[in-house]
Structure 1
Amino acid sequence: MNQASQQVIAASDLPALGQPLLGGVFAARYWLNGQERALILLSDEFQGIWGEYGVEIAGANSYSDGYANTVAMAEAGSVIAKKVLALDLHIPSCLEGQLLMAAKAEGLVTLRHDRFHWLSTQYSAYYAYGMGFETGWLVNYGEDGERLVRPVRSLIIQ
């Protein structure tokens, strides 16, 4: 893990949900690996393929840990994962995607809904999960198709 995955913030320093935080919008509080975390949605947006069709990536199948998935993707050669990690961000997991959809439904964040977005969770050697933020559809697509990525940051809350 790099430094980004271990950044912390005091609970007393958190703004209200939907407010600016570290270059993005504070979208949700959630638990991951026994730690309470703050999910921040950034405005950066990338387009690209998830990975190589037919290749299963060990460590990229977590439904909850988008950072671990993104690191595994980058180590396997994913260009889009490398771009996101270079900014100290990661591609949301299935759980983080659902949290973003809930934040959108509450009017806390704005997400494009005219295109499907990649999530970092791999479904199989041939498919990875994506999400349509118009209605919250969780789907899987061939990993070699181009989709959008809207990166996030996750901070440990102390």
Structure 2
Amino acid sequence: MTKQAQQTVLAAELPERGQPLAGGVFVTRYWLNGVERALILLPDELSGAWGEYGVEIKGAGSYSDGESNTRAMAEAGSVIAVKALELGGHIPSCLEGQLLMAAKSDGLVTLNEERFHWLSTQRSADDAYTMAFEVGWLYNDAKSNERLARPVRSLPIQ
């Protein structure tokens, strides 16, 4: 069963970066598809494969839209994508991963630095992007490898 998550946030009610918001920590404001949004890091940490090696998933190639990537992954059977959506969040895109790294560098959030984290952006039928939060490096890895995923939530700002 999917948790009922907050759907929007009022601009006047946004806390300072690094403060609690909508079940997580407010990371930053950003623009996605013409809509200003609040990026929130959820406390959950998932582990698993991104998907099936050698299978390209249509709709999972956005560099910026992690939610649409994660929905495409879930429809194709990705267990970690389904879990992220059940939490009312999604696996970050490459852009959202870089925003998380910036917040970590500013001391606003804590991220596991010991393992690579999946991003929802697919690179090819074989690979998807990962991020090393120790130093902020963007890599790609075989989709069938087990990695961590740290879900986020992205709320439109009104």
**Same-fold call, TM > 0.5?**
yes
C-alpha distance after superposition, 1:60-85 (max 9, x if no partner):
00000000000000000101101111
Q: Structure 2: how far apart are the matches of 1:5 and 1:69?
A: 19
Give me the CA root mean square deviation.
1.5
Deviation of 1:128 after TM superposition, in Å, equals: 0.2
Quick one: structure 1 residues 6 and 57, their matched pair in 2 at CA, closer, same or farther if it must change by over 3 Å? farther
**Native 8 Å contact 2:15 2:21 kept in 1:** yes
Cα contact 1:6–1:156 (8 A) shared by 2: no
How much has 1:6 moved relative to structure 2?
8.9
User: Is the CA contact 2:6–2:22 (under 8 Å) kept in the aligned structure 1?
Assistant: no
Matches of 1:140 and 1:110 in 2, distance apart?
22
SS at 1:101 equivalent: helix
| 1:16-57 Cα deviation digits (max 9, x unpaired) | 000011111001110000000000001100100000000000
Secondary structure at the counterpart of residue 144 of structure 2: coil
Contact 2:51 2:144 (8 Å CA) reproduced = yes
Matches within 5 A, 1:52-67: 52-67=52-67
Is 1:88 aligned with 2:88? yes
- Give the match for residue 135 of structure 1: 135
| CA shift in 2, pair 1:141/1:65, >3 Å | same
Which contiguous aligned blocks of 4+ residues in structure 1 show a shift greater than 3 angstroms? Answer: none
Tell me how far apart the structure 2 counterparts of residues 124 and 53 of structure 1 sit (CA, whole Å).
9
Runs of 5+ unmatched residues, structure 1? none
Any conservation in 2 of the 1:8–1:155 contact (CA below 8 Å)? yes
2:30 alignment counterpart: 30
Give 1:87 shift: 1.3
After TM superposition, give the deviation of residue 86 of structure 1 in Å: 1.0
Indicate the SS of the match to 1:60: coil
Residue correspondence of structure 1 range 98-109 to structure 2 within 5 A = 98-109=98-109
Query: Which amino acid in the other structure matches residue 61 of structure 2?
Result: N
Q: Percent identity?
A: 70
For structure 2, list consecutive stretches of 5 or more residues without a partner in the other structure: none
Distance 1:96 1:132 in 2: 14
Offset of 1:15 from its aligned partner?
0.3
CA distance in 1, matches of 2:84, 2:32: 20
Q: CA deviation at 1:5?
A: 9.4
The Cα offsets for residues 103-142 of structure 1, whole Å up to 9 and x where unpaired, read as 0000010001111000000000000000000110000000
